[in-house]
Every structure is written in structure tokens, then in C-alpha cells.
Chains A and B, each alone.
Chain A
Amino acid sequence: MSTHRDNTGSKIGMWLFLLSEILLFGGLFILYSSYRYKNPLDFHLAAWELNRVLGTINTLVLITSSLCMALSIFFIQKGGRTLSAFFLFATIFLGLLFLGLKYVEWTVKIGHGLYPNSPHLLGRSKGEVLFYGLYYSMTGLHGLHVLIGLFLLSVMLVLMLKGKLNENRFIPLENTGLYWHLIDIIWIFLFPLFYLMT
């Protein structure tokens, strides 16, 4: 007896979830745009303190991880299970690298006494306090999503190695890929707004 599978329905479900995620981050972007409008100079000055090199590297890391994700899905459709598993592993590795670099960035900032509600930060101007509040919340929420994505990707890798994901059934991998690409898109917007503002 075969189970009923609805690939299109499954995909619609994932897209609906992604739309809700876009609205979630969208709300935070609204907050960012409002506070930036009110404190343009403070936001500009605070942005200089962020590490542009690490931010750019992280952007390239996520873009490459999206490529690996797409290639993984491409190869499993063609039956190339080894290649697919390799690229899936590469995606996970790059995701971990992203989180590692984020950890380094945050540690440096916290080491300088710049974290939400720190006495050092509260001594600064109101606009800078807002900037850092938004920085930690938005990159933190994004990082949490990356962590969840990594967990999902690992589950997919296990399923693939067990043979449960193959050229006949790969929609879970596709849907996980959609989630991962969305994380990339969110970072594509976060990066210039926090690191590159002029």
C-alpha cells in the first residue's frame, strides 16, 4: 500500500511558512527603518564599528552555501547520491562556519562592553543604543534561524545516507533547501543595512 504523497501541496506548505518568516523579519526591518530615519548620524557612526571584513566573508559563505544546497538538490534528482551528499555536507559546513564567524564578532563586541543594557553602551547616545539593540536582535534571530536550518540539514543528511532520500523522493530536501535559501536572502538584506551604511 503506497502512502499518498502530494509534492506540490508540500511545497506550497513550505512557501507559506517562508512568507510568514518574511513578515517576521519584515517587522524588524520596519523597526530598523523607523529608528534609522530618526537617528541617521548615530546609525552611521555605529556602523563603522562593525567588522566589515567578517561581514563580507560571512555573506560570501552564505552565498556559497546556497550554491551547494542547490547543487545537492540538482544531483539527487539525477540519482547522483554521493555528489548530493557531498554538497549537502558542504552546505552544513559553511553554515557552521557562518555561525563561528558570528560568534567571533559577537565575542569581540561583548568584550568591548557593547551588549544590550551594558553600562558602557547605555553611556552612549540614544541612537547608538538603538542600533546595537537592533543589531543583536536581528542578527541573533537570524543566527537562530541558521542554527535551526543546520539541524534540519543534518536530519536530511542522515536520511540521505540511509537511502530514504533518493531520486524518487527528494521533496523534504527541496523544502529544506527553500528554507536555507530564505536565510541567505535575509542576510543579503541584513549585511548592507548594518555593515555598509553610508
Chain B
Amino acid sequence: MSESPILSIGAPGFDVDKLVADLQATADRKMKDGVYADARVARAEKTNLVHLRGSDDFITFYLTCLRDAVFVDIADFDIRERRRFLSPLLVGLKKTIWKLLKFYTYRLWSQQNQVNGLIITALEGLEEQSAKRIAALEARIAELERKAPHHGG
């Protein structure tokens, strides 16, 4: 899925600030190219979102990841048992319970998927709307500043 950044670095004498800037620029470019529009990235970022609230670009990117994550596949995991003792028996028991509950969980699952889809659509709509509104306001301010007579002197 991912690729190594194409950087040629002579080990002696490289500058760590420049290295980080280069690697971050690589990541930014790959984000724009859609390399990270991935449900797994959305899940990985769940505890980091609090640190990214100030970044408009990242929130827009995160919404694209969420779009990928929003429709959950109810059968996308293996049933496992971490304890070694009686592990096959416990896995069998869990699988049986899982099958017996299908009539109930599938209904919840399909409803949840619908809600998830509606919420992400609404969020994307809101985000697009506010981005447009901010862009219009910025353009208006720029226009007013251009027209205003020189001041402050």
C-alpha cells in the first residue's frame, strides 16, 4: 500500500530539521494523492484527533478516511481466544453464540451502518459549507482591504 519516501541522504552531515521537513512533505503529498484515505488510518488516529483539532487540512483528510471506515463489515474479524487453556473449545463456543445472535445483531448492524452513512454525509456537507463560507469571507475581506484608503499613518 505504502512506499518508501524517495530521499537520498548522505548520512554524514544531514540536517534533522530538513530531514523531518522532507519526510513530512512526502507524507503531505501522499495524503493529497489519496494514499492514506483508508479506514485503518481513521481508526489509528482516534486518540490523536485531540491534537489535530487546529489543522483544517487534516480534518478534511480525516473525513475522507472516515468515508472509507463508515460502512462496517460485521464479519470482518476472526474469532480468537487469547488464553491458551481450552482455546479451541472457547473459540467454538464463541462462534456458536455469534451464530445464534445473528438474527438480532444483523438488524442492529444494518441500522448502525445507515446512521453512520447519514452522519458522515451530514459532516461532509457541513465541512464543505463552512469551507465555502470562510473562503467567501476571506475574499470579501481581501476586497475590502484593497478598496479601503490607506490608514494608520
The answer to whether A and B come from one shared complex is no
A contact residues vs B (CB 8 Å cutoff): none
B contact residues vs A (CB 8 Å cutoff): none
